[in-house]
Amino acid sequence: MIIYNLYMTMYSRRANTPVIPRNETSSQILALLSGIAGNELHTNEIIRRVEGNPRAVQRALVSSEAGGLITSRRVGNLRLWRMDPTNPLYQSIRELFGRTRGLPAKLASVLAKSRGVRLAFLFGSYVTAKDNPTSDVDLFVIGAVDWMKLAETLRAAGRQLGRVVNPIIWSEADLAELPTSNREFLDGVMAGPIIWLVGDRQEFDELRSSVGAGMAGGRSKPARVGTKRQSAASKGQGPRDRRQGGAGRRSSGRGSHSR
């Protein structure tokens, strides 16, 4: 019999059934490991990323493994930890902890501090949980932002999260001047599952209606179709420039990705 308490914590009266702990350290670990799609991290790297007390992190890792939530293996002197995406609880854990402590929460915090971001959301394989350890995290941003500054911020966040963040950045003018191919792309994205980080669907619909009405009231400008440039992120080294609307920008430079 599976029981849910008021904290959305799951436990069972039967032996050998996974248990989701409620302490903060364990929650941070589960958010981290569920957000990297089955990738492995060694103990010290987990301690660094969750910024936790080493002893508390080690206790939480051992406890989570004993509870059937994560697994580990030894390679020389290293102990590697992972969460198996085939675990029946994987998707639930990812959704539960991701929004409060995991990748979506951390990116939302980063974007909230970035000037000019009006709307932002995740889409693609991360949202559908069909990603793998090498998959990019697809991020859509709308607003008047400084591309280079935002790319650097996302690169730093990606290093902390252990994922390459792949941003598409459009201005409101880009949204108003979409060529057919980009309009179809946007419609396809919005028809699928997304995770809102800044704003919501109602705000998006209102913005799209307002910029559309503005363009209809004046002379339409030719659409500016940006070049699709691939930065060092394609090699797992930083954000990738995918401005599918608007003028293309230079790639953001090189970064690295800790394991």
Contact between residue 208 and residue 187 where contact means Cβ atoms under 8 Å apart: no
The answer on 209 and 135 residing in a single domain is yes
Q: At what angle do helices 24-34 and 90-98 cross, to 10 degrees?
A: 110
Residue 16 sits in a domain whose CATH number is 1.10.10.10
Residue with the bigger pLDDT between 233 and 101: it is 101
- Has residue 157 been placed in a domain? yes
The answer on 78 and 138 residing in a single domain is no
Domain count, the chain: 2
Note down the domain range covering 38. Answer: 1-89
Tens digit of each residue's pLDDT (9 = 90 or more) over 97-112: 877 788 898 899 999 9
- Has residue 14 been placed in a domain? yes
CA quadruple 100, 103, 105, 110: dihedral, nearest 10: 160
pLDDT of the residue at 23: 81
The answer on 131 and 161 residing in a single domain is yes
Q: Where does the pLDDT of residue 228 fall: very low under 50, low under 70, confident under 90, or very high at 90 and above?
A: very low
- Has residue 254 been placed in a domain? no
pLDDT of the residue at 1: 33
Q: What is the largest CA-CA distance in the chain?
A: 70
- Has residue 97 been placed in a domain? no
**Residue 169 amino acid letter:** I
The answer on 84 and 51 residing in a single domain is yes
The answer on 40 and 136 residing in a single domain is no
pLDDT of the residue at 213: 58
DSSP-derived 3-state class of residue 228: coil
- Has residue 39 been placed in a domain? yes
Residue with the bigger pLDDT between 179 and 229: it is 179
The answer on 110 and 76 residing in a single domain is no
The answer on 119 and 83 residing in a single domain is no
- Has residue 250 been placed in a domain? no
- Has residue 175 been placed in a domain? yes
The answer on 122 and 65 residing in a single domain is no
Alpha-helical runs (H) found in 132-249: 147-161, 172-176, 180-191, 201-216
The answer on 6 and 65 residing in a single domain is yes
Task: Report the candidate in 36, 39, 10 with the shortest Cα–Cα distance to residue 22.
Answer: 10
- Has residue 232 been placed in a domain? no
Q: Where does the pLDDT of residue 46 fall: very low under 50, low under 70, confident under 90, or very high at 90 and above?
A: very high
